[in-house]
């Protein structure tokens, strides 16, 4: 067993605290200001990033790191609010797409500027450009390794 050194433990625990507190604060602000949950926002962002605003259920679940049941339940709730629709896949009778609606596009357009301002105020305004580059590089390297291991 390789235990964490004091420096590693400090860095890891600080990272986890940052992630939890920042995520929680951003989620509360998003919900209060736009009525969207962090999960709603994540789904809508992913759908606006792909052509035609539609993505296969399984690809969206993989991108969000969600279990199949969580994906299904959450998309059903969003569909009930008119933010997305489920669309059957004509080439694959078992597959389906999640498609953003006009109401979903309107919601994300209203929420995105509020979210960006909160990200700036709570995070970006407190790091230097050099720190931001290092954070981006480290994050990308770890995500690439996680993706590689998942394949």
> What's the burial of 122, exposed, middle or buried (CB within 10 Å: 0-12/13-18/19+)?
middle
Question: Can you spell out the DSSP letters for 73-130?
Answer: HHHHHHHHTTSEEEEE-TT-TT-EEEEE-HHHHHHHHHHHHHHHHHHHHHTGGGS-HH
The radius of gyration computed from the CA coordinates of the chain, to the nearest angstrom, equals 18
Give the pLDDT of residue 109. Answer: 97
43-60 pLDDT tens trace:
999 999 998 999 999 999
Nearest 5°: phi and psi at 7? -65, -40
Question: Can you spell out the DSSP letters for 32-56?
Answer: HHHS--HHHHHHHHHHHTSGGGEEE
- Asked if residue 141 lies in contact with residue 67, where contact means CB atoms within 8 angstroms, the answer is no
What lies within 8 Å, CB to CB, of 53 at 6+ separation is 47, 99, 100, 104, 105
> How many Å from the N-terminal Cα to the C-terminal Cα in the chain?
26
Q: How confident is the model at residue 89 (pLDDT cuts 50, 70, 90)?
A: confident
Give the pLDDT of residue 27. Answer: 96
8-32 pLDDT tens trace:
999 999 999 999 999 999 999 999 9
Q: Catalogue all structural domains in the chain, each as residue range(s) with its CATH number.
A: 20-150 (1.10.10.10)
Closest among 118, 121, 115, 96 to 40, alpha carbons compared: 115
């Amino acid at each position: 067993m390789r235990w964490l050194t004091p420096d590693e433990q400090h860095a890891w625990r600080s990272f986890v605290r940052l992630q939890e507190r920042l995520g929680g604060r951003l989620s509360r602000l998003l919900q209060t200001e736009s009525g969207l949950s962090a999960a709603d926002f994540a789904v809508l962002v992913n759908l606006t990033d792909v052509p035609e605003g539609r993505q296969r259920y399984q690809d969206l679940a993989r991108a969000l790191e969600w279990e199949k049941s969580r994906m299904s339940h959450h998309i059903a709730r969003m569909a009930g609010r008119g933010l997305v629709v489920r669309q059957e896949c004509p080439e694959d009778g078992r597959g389906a797409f999640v498609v953003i609606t006009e109401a979903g596009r309107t919601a994300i357009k209203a929420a995105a500027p509020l979210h960006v301002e909160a990200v700036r105020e709570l995070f970006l305004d407190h790091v230097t450009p050099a720190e931001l580059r290092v954070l981006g590089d480290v994050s990308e390297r770890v995500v690439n390794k996680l993706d590689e291991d998942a394949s």
